Amino acid sequence: FMLEISLDRLLSYADLNKKFMRLPVFPGISRDLSLILKEGGLAGDILKAVKEKGGPLLAEAKLIDCYKGRQIPSGFKGLTISCLYRSDERTLTEEEVAPIHSGISSLLMERFQAQIR
């Protein structure tokens, strides 16, 4: 076999600018939400709603589990969302995080008819 590669053309598509993110100085607080939802609910819509409601202190929200099984009623699915709260200016307290996390739970129950597990 023989191969010829034009590095000039190949490198024209590469982004050679280095991007760095500063490591967090203050620790975060992690909380999980375990939900039961109707099968039609899209995880992407739920994550988008969580991120909007979480505001600036919600550094990350991600789906960590999707479950269908004998503990979940037929026509429903179980989702677990992990939320990481962090500030660049200070260490957050439970008193700051709890109302935000509770608000996210309430939003999911109202908008998506979710049940908290």
87-99 per-position pLDDT tens digit: 999 999 999 999 9
Interval 30-34 mean pLDDT: 95
Q: Of 18, 113, 101, nearest to 54 (Cα)? A: 101
pLDDT at 43: 87
User: What integer pLDDT is reported at residue 71 of this predicted model?
Assistant: 86
From the list 33, 37, 43, the residue with the least C-alpha distance to 97 is 33
Give the model's pLDDT for residue 102: 96
**103, 83 Cβ separation under 8 angstroms:** no
**Residue 14 pLDDT level (bands cut at 50, 70, 90):** confident
> HSE-up of 95 (CA within 13 Å, CB side)?
0
pLDDT tens string 46-68: 999 999 999 999 999 999 999 88
